[in-house]
Amino acid sequence: MANIKSAKKRIRQIEKRTLRNKIRKTMVRTAIRRFDDALKRGDLDAAEMALRFCYARLDRAAQKGAIHRNNASRRKSRLAARLAKARQAAS
């Protein structure tokens, strides 16, 4: 355990940031899960709405530093490709 006042403060700050980042990452995973559920049901309109929500959550998590911006971009690209593939299979 830290003895120096500034080190104790850093520990408190890290704990707060870790908690915030954990919340943001959980929100991203939930949004992606909803997108997956819509795709499995075959509801492409709901999947598209869920995809937009995923984009917003991923962009926000990247903006706040919870995930890297390239990670967010890669995930968005893969989700969009999955929706496109589902659309192609439906038609």
Task: Report the pLDDT value the prediction gives residue 45, as an integer from 0 to 100.
Answer: 94
Residue 46 in any domain: the answer is: yes
Domain count, the chain: 1
**How many CA atoms are closer than 13 Å to the CA of 35, on its beta-carbon side?**
27
Residue 84 in any domain: the answer is: yes
Residue 43 in any domain: the answer is: yes
Structural domain that includes position 28? 9-90
| 50 burial via Cβ count (<10 Å: 0-12, 13-18, 19+) | buried
Task: Report the pLDDT value the prediction gives residue 78, as an integer from 0 to 100.
Answer: 98
Q: What angle do CA 12, 66, 16 make, to 5 degrees?
A: 15
pTM above 0.85, yes or no: yes
CATH number at residue 62: 1.20.58.110
Residue 40 in any domain: the answer is: yes
Task: Report the pLDDT value the prediction gives residue 44, as an integer from 0 to 100.
Answer: 95
Task: Report the pLDDT value the prediction gives residue 76, as an integer from 0 to 100.
Answer: 98
Residue 2 in any domain: the answer is: no
Q: What angle do CA 34, 24, 10 make, to 5 degrees?
A: 165
Query: Is-contact 69 62, C-beta < 8 A?
Result: yes
